[in-house]
Amino acid sequence: MTCVVTCPSCRRDVVWNEMSPHRPFCCKRCQLIDLGGWANEEKHIIRNGAVVRK
């Protein structure tokens, strides 16, 4: 059974297994982009992938 999630940064499909070490992000670049968003407090990514804007 394959679980697929959506990358919070670029909305690409990410297969949830050992092949995707940066899940839920598709790649390290998207992970860093998201961390930058947290630092700027422009947006908040909740664990389930929902985006909440202040």
| Contact with Zn ion (CB under 5 A) among 2, 3, 13, 26 | 26
Interaction of residue 24 with Zn ion, rule CB under 5 A:
no
User: Among 3, 5, 6, 7, which residue sits at the site for Zn ion (rule: CB under 5 A)?
Assistant: 7
If you write DSSP's letter for every residue of 8-26 in order, what string do you get?
Answer: TTT--EEE-STT-TTTTSS
Contact between 31 and Zn ion by CB under 5 A: the answer reads no
Cα(19)–Cα(2) distance, integer angstroms: 12
**Residue ranges that bind Zn ion, judged by CB under 5 A:** 7, 9-10, 12, 26, 30
